[in-house]
Amino acid sequence: MAKESDKFAYYPLFRSGLPPPARRFAGLLPYNFSGGHNDAEQIPIDALIEASVAVLKRHGSRLAIYNLGHGPLGYEGLRDVVATKLAKRRGIACSRDDILITAGSTQGLNLLNQIFLQPGDTVVFEEFSYANAIRDMRQLGVTIVSAPLDSGGLEIDALDSILGNLRDRRVHPKYIYTIPTIQNPTGTILSLDRRHKLLSLAEKFQTVVIEDECYSNLVWADDVPPSLYGLNPKHVIHVGSLSKSLAPALRLGFIVADWQVLSQAIACKTDGGTGALEQMVAAEYFFDSFDSHIAGQTRALESKLGSLVEALQREFGTSIEFHPPEGGTFIWAKLPPPIDVRKLIQPAANAGIAFNPGPEWSCGDDPATSHLRLCFALPTAEQIQKGIAELARICFDLFGIPERGTNASRRIDS
């Protein structure tokens, strides 16, 4: 390996405004409560092998053609599957021609940002929101106006006041970004009444709503309200994910929107097309297995949620506040105000624990320094129990909280 003194200095040539450089990946920690990973045991390996063989035998020669010859919207078979799923589960009436397949839902959001935003623009976000979306706004030089959340999700009356105040200042937000079904990170589901009121506000203020439904398939109940797009697509752009429903490493998401939007998204999508083999395999597998797959996955996730709730209650007791989510893969938890979770990150990592610190998910007045997001999908039930016990011990060593765990008082060794 070359000495540092022998290396060419690239850094002076980098443009300004870049995010901090990434660290070298050192592997996953044993107790991983971070990110959007999924349950490894729920990956249908044998079925995916069968789907791969079948689709390659039938359509493998089309891999010679960009986008499999189906055009820049993506593989027709997958778009048909998505359209069927959306009609059945999210109340969306659309055809394959209303859907653009993307490399995960994050690429969909990035494409929409390319279309709508430039430095100095304003957007409205929920006060706690998807960390990557918040980061992207800040890197783009866009002003984020935060709207408060409560136990039912986005507070519509407060949003009405916010939009009115912006209008009085002659500021027209480019869009409202909302996660109505399994809000990320709080895990709530917006009620049907609030959805109708939100759509009324979009009409009143002539504002676009970008609806992120990344986790909408992973819900415990069967009576989830229809998507905003399904209720009224006039002001709404729908962004969804297949990665969370199948396998996060398969980067598959989609945008459902008017052709005015899709045509611009295609013009901005310069990647040569989303991975074709992933699209073909997912379509082949999901064609007959979507409902049964989701049913098994949600059962497994709900069981793991139970393990995490039990561990948090046992190890942290009344020192931690959280509402079990109505679906998804994560809990949004709050520790007492003296605790700054950022000071837990490195000691926890040293003990093999990873979690998402609250400040990364906050764009409002509350910096969420006592909050943390814990993803329960990847670790086993045993890892959940051991990891939370170790996190509580580290928290006590640093802050003296929680004072009790496993029905016994903690003490600092002298």
**Domains, the chain, with CATH or none:** 27-43+292-409 (3.90.1150.10), 45-289 (3.40.640.10)
The angle subtended at Cα 251 by Cα 250 and Cα 252, nearest 5°, is: 100
CA distances from 66 to 43, 75, 81, 277 (A): 28, 10, 21, 11
| pLDDT over 50 (residue 287) | yes
pLDDT on residue 7: 83
| pLDDT over 80 (residue 146) | yes
Residues 121 and 98: beta-carbon distance below 8 Å: no
Mean pLDDT within 344-353: 96
pLDDT class of 403 with cuts at 50, 70, 90 = confident
pLDDT on residue 190: 97
Q: How many CB atoms lie within 10 A of CB 26?
A: 7
**Joined tokens for residue 249:** 């490493």
The count of residues in the chain is: 414
Tell me: the pLDDT tens digits for 360-382? 999 988 899 999 999 999 999 99
Tell me: the pLDDT tens digits for 22-67? 888 888 899 999 988 999 999 999 999 999 999 999 999 999 999 9
Beta bridge partners of 123: 144, 175
| pLDDT over 60 (residue 92) | yes
d(CA 30, CA 353): 7
pLDDT on residue 134: 96
pLDDT on residue 323: 94
| pLDDT over 90 (residue 167) | yes
Pick 295 or 1 by higher pLDDT: 295
Tell me: the pLDDT tens digits for 232-286? 999 999 999 999 999 999 999 999 999 999 999 999 999 999 999 999 999 999 9
pLDDT class of 414 with cuts at 50, 70, 90 = very low
Tell me: the pLDDT tens digits for 294-328? 999 999 999 999 999 999 999 999 999 999 999 99
pLDDT on residue 256: 98
pLDDT on residue 387: 97
Mean pLDDT within 72-93: 96
Beta bridge partners of 146: 125
**Joined tokens for residue 382:** 């045993």
Residues 197 and 156: beta-carbon distance below 8 Å: yes
CA atoms within 13 A on the CB side of 222: 3
d(CA 392, CA 335): 11
